[in-house]
Amino acid sequence: GNKGLYLLNKEAESIPAGSDGLIFLPYLSGERTPHADPYARGVFFGISYIHTQDHFVRSIMEGVAFSQLDCLSLMRKLNIVSDKIVLFGGGAKSKVWRQIISDVMNARIVTLNVEEGPAYGAALIAGVGCGIYSSIEEAAGKTIKEANQINPIEENVKKYEKLYKIYGSLYEDLKDDFEKLSHI
């Protein structure tokens, strides 16, 4: 429940950016982007005696953020850029995760006054259909506002840039072994 999420966030906050060298590949059921690989599996890399449960929690958050950066990097290569990234939903409630994402992506993170995007979007579409608003743009403009923002911390950005290179090489180094493992 919420108490569990609160405790996980506290654990992650207690560990420095980079999880003291613990890297997580979040491929728990294969990977789709940027590696279309049903054999890919989750990996913790760099485990040592110094790592505690708190390190693993933060490393999981960082690994998911690295995976999201894989997707963002593809968008940036296509010249799809923005001055901000908007987060909403469950994960966006975590300040530590928002900061991790901001630092990993070296981007400003914005949350909205709306927490549940799909349901809210459906309600706005219904509002347009009923004539309350003349367009989706009008409905969104009148009801959706930025709630808060987080900016990247330069020291963390530099650390994550180095770790992301290692993260990226791990998949390439392990991809053949992922498939071999699936046949055992």
Could you read off the pLDDT of 22-45 as tens digits, one per residue?
A: 999 999 999 988 889 999 999 999
What pLDDT digit, counting tens, does each position of 42-72 carry?
Answer: 999 999 999 999 999 999 999 999 999 999 9
What pLDDT digit, counting tens, does each position of 101-148 carry?
Answer: 999 999 999 999 988 788 999 999 999 999 999 999 999 999 999 999
Q: Is residue 46 part of a domain?
A: yes
Q: Is residue 108 part of a domain?
A: no
User: Whole-angstrom Cα distance, residue 58 to residue 20?
Assistant: 10
pLDDT at 38 (0 to 100): 96
pLDDT at 88 (0 to 100): 85
Q: Is residue 11 part of a domain?
A: yes
Mean pLDDT of the chain: 94
Instruction: Quickly state the pLDDT bin for 1 (edges 50, 70, 90).
Output: low
52 close to 74: Cβ distance less than 8 angstroms:
no
| pTM of the predicted model as reported, rounded to 2 decimal places | 0.90
Q: Is residue 73 part of a domain?
A: yes
137 close to 128: Cβ distance less than 8 angstroms:
no
Q: Is residue 45 part of a domain?
A: yes
Q: Is residue 8 part of a domain?
A: yes
65 close to 96: Cβ distance less than 8 angstroms:
no
Q: Is the pLDDT at 13 greater than 80, yes or no?
A: yes
147 close to 9: Cβ distance less than 8 angstroms:
no
Q: Is residue 113 part of a domain?
A: no
Q: Is the pLDDT at 181 greater than 80, yes or no?
A: yes
pLDDT at 143 (0 to 100): 95
Q: Is residue 106 part of a domain?
A: no
Q: Give me the number of domains the chain comprises.
A: 1
What's the CATH number where 52 sits? 3.30.420.40
What pLDDT digit, counting tens, does each position of 139-156 carry?
Answer: 999 999 999 999 999 999
- 29, 20, 68, 60: which is closest to 44 by C-alpha? 60
pLDDT at 91 (0 to 100): 84
Q: Which domain holds residue 60?
A: 2-81+155-182
